[in-house]
Each structure stands twice: as C-alpha cells, then as structure tokens.
Amino acid sequence: MTSLDSALAHVDASTFTLQADGTPLPQTSAPGIITALLRLLDVRPGDRVLEIGTGSGYTTAVLASLVGDSGHVTSIDVNPTLTARARALIDAASVVLVSSDGAYGHPPAAPLRPGHRLGHAHGHPEGLDGPDPPRRPDRHSSQDRSRGLGQSHGRGQRS
C-alpha cells in the first residue's frame, strides 16, 4: 500500500463530501480525479503545499495526512462558508485554512516553487455564495499564481 493509498484510507470521504442531509456537497471533485492528481503531485512527509480551492476540504485532509506533522498545508477558498466548514472538520496542526481569493497566492505560505500543481481550472462552482469571483490580472511575485493551482514544495531539486 502506498502512502497515498494509506492517506485516502485514513480520511473518511463522506465526512467531507456529504452535507448534513446526505446530499453531495457541490464543491467536491470526483474521487478518481483527486486520486490521479495527488499521485502526480507526489506529496511526501515534510512537504509544504498550497491548495487553491478548499471546496469540501476532502483533498485538504488527504494532503494533511500525506505531509504529516512535519509538513504544512495552506488551503485557500474564496468562499468563507467552505473554509469554516473545512476548519471544523480538519483536526491537523499542519493545516491553515484561508478565506481569500487564491488568484494572488498566499505570501505567508511562501516560499513555494512552481512545477507540481493541483487544483481547479478556476474559482469554485456556483454554490453557497453565488457565482465565481471576477477574474483578476496576474501580478508579479515570488509565487506562481496560475489561477486555481496548488503547489508542492519540500524535497530538494524536483522539477
């Protein structure tokens, strides 16, 4: 069993992906997509990860399991209701949840380097607080802010 398989087994998906009435939370990616993207990202203990688009919090919880106590996950969502929900569900000191527009990254989470990305193509689906936020122009900084992408940083020279 790989560390990803262990992390996926450790996190109860239904806790994150279902609402109190048992219906699926709209801000949840398909489990197969999450698994495939996490395999590509190759997160390991001690890594620092920036996730843009917290959504249900499921991927955030799996990332927390992967980075362990020595790593760090910062997850940003424009929807404060979603970040508050995820905060209530995730019990990991290695996770920081931020309610903000992730288009500009999160400077306190830096340094991060581009190359290993995970996330949504843009914003969040229409849902709890209405439509996607307006697109904003890219700005220069030390972080790669390709809209809706997360980055992993941690083990030497990975490209």
Q: Encode pLDDT of 71-120 as tens digits.
A: 999 999 999 999 999 999 999 999 999 999 888 778 887 766 443 344 44
User: For residue 9, what is the domain's CATH number?
Assistant: 3.40.50.150
Say if residues 93 and 129 touch (Cβ distance below 8 Å): no
Domain assignment present for residue 61? The answer is yes
Domain assignment present for residue 114? The answer is yes
| Lowest mean pLDDT segment, chosen from 4-13, 65-74, 79-88, 124-133 | 124-133
User: CA end-to-end span of the chain, whole Å?
Assistant: 25
Domain assignment present for residue 29? The answer is yes
Domain assignment present for residue 159? The answer is no
φ, ψ (nearest 5 deg) of residue 152? -115, 140
Which positions are annotated as active-site residues? 29
Q: Give the count of domains, the chain.
A: 1
Q: Which residue in 89, 85, 45 sits closest to 67, CA to CA?
A: 45
pTM given for the model: 0.72
Q: What is the DSSP string of 83-122?
A: HHHHHHH---TTEEEEES-GGG--GGG----SSSEEB-SS
Question: So what's the pLDDT on residue 56?
Answer: 95
pLDDT digits (tens, 9 = 90+) for 31-85: 899 999 999 988 999 998 999 999 999 999 999 999 999 999 999 999 999 999 9
Domain that holds residue 42: 3-153
Kindly state the helix (H) or strand (E) to which residue 67 belongs, with its residue range: helix 58-67
